[in-house]
Amino acid sequence: MSRFGIVVFPGTWSDRDCAHALAVAGHPSVRLWHQDQDLQGVDCVILPGGFSYGDYLRAGAIASHAPIMAAVRRHVDRGGLVLGICNGFQVLCEAGLLPGALLRNAALQFRCQPVTLRVERVDTPFSHTCRAGARLRIPVSHGEGRYYADPAMLARLEQRGQVLFRYVDAAGRLDPEANPNGSVAGIAGIVNERGTVLGMMPHPERACEMVLGSADGLRVFQGIAEAGAGAAR
């Protein structure tokens, strides 16, 4: 059984939803305070959604320098798993643990709506329970989710297969209408080169029970749990 740690910064609000989604999936979790120096030996760190430090300066900028992030960096260096959701994705980019940046949505509106994601790779701990090309129905909820990488960085990402999720239409095709924020190449989620750190704007924890309209988000958490259970400690 994998152990999950959910980081709480001032202004984080999705930690309880993540804990609930993990409980639904049958996995306990602990909260990790932003001032903590260690990760209590967890296998996977979740950086949840919210508005850490009020999004002051830039979304995720202040949180990326919080004391807990030094421990998260060591965890990543050891090959530990990290899932950054929404504000957590912004934190990972600001920390330099993932390439690129997240800008104000192209439409300048906060977007809170279900989207369809296409799974681009199934050989990562986060997606190995999915079929290749599978489509997941998961909501987004953000004002600054427009993924940006300059052309050279984007080419590297594509070449190394670091794009894990893209916004697509119901038929699984890239479509500007299906892209809620104007992200380059329809990018909704990327992994680092080792495939151990995932940042994604959509909220899998909000799609973990059919009463919420979809349980597709559980696949991400179950994938991590099964990968963690098989990993050497």
Partner 1 sequence: MPTDHRDRFVADVVVTLKPVVNDPQGDVVREALHTLGFAEVAGVRVGRYLAVEVTADRATARARVDAMCQQLLCNGVIEEYRFTLRPADRSVPAPP
Instruction: Assess contact for 153 and 162: CB atoms under 8 A.
Output: no
Q: Near partner 1 by CB under 8 A, which window of 25-33, 37-45, 55-63, 119-127?
A: 55-63
List, by residue number, the catalytic residues.
86, 203, 205
Q: Which of 15, 17, 43, 94 binds partner 1 (CB under 8 A)?
A: 94
Complex with partner 1: residue 10 or 143, whichever CB lies closer = 143
Burial pattern 96-107, b for ≥16 Cβ within 10 A else e, equals ebbbbbbbebee
Beta strands in the chain (DSSP E): 4-8, 29-33, 44-47, 81-85, 101-103, 111-119, 135-142, 146-148, 163-168, 187-191, 197-200
With CB under 8 A as the contact rule, the residue among 23, 150, 173, 230 that binds partner 1 is 150
Q: How many CA atoms lie within 13 A of 19 on its CB side?
A: 13
* Rounded least distance, CB 115 to partner 1, Å: 19
Residue number with CB closer to partner 1 (108 or 171): 108
Residues 108-147 that bind partner 1 (CB under 8 A): 108
155 lies in the binding site for partner 1 (CB under 8 A): no
Per rule CB under 8 A, is residue 61 in the interface with partner 1? yes
For 156, the token pair is: 């590297």
CA-nearest of 168, 163, 110, 161 to 137 is 168
Q: Does 3 bind partner 1 (CB under 8 A)?
A: no
Distance of CA 175 to the CA centre of its chain: 22
> Which of 71-79, 92-100, 122-130, 208-216 is the region at the interface with partner 1 (rule: CB under 8 A)?
92-100
Q: How far is the CB of 148 from partner 1 (least distance, A)?
A: 6
# of chain residues touching partner 1 (CB under 8 A): 20
On whether the CB atoms of residues 139 and 204 are closer than 8 A, the answer is no
55 binds partner 1 (CB under 8 A): no
**Which is closer to partner 1, CB of 105 or CB of 222?**
105
The residue among 99 and 195 lying less far from partner 1, judged by its C-beta, is 99
Cβ atoms of 46 and 6 within 8 Å: the answer is: yes
Q: What are phi and psi of 197, to 5 degrees?
A: -125, 120
Which residues here bind partner 1, judged by CB under 8 A?
A: 57-58, 61, 65, 93-94, 99-101, 103-108, 148-150, 153, 182
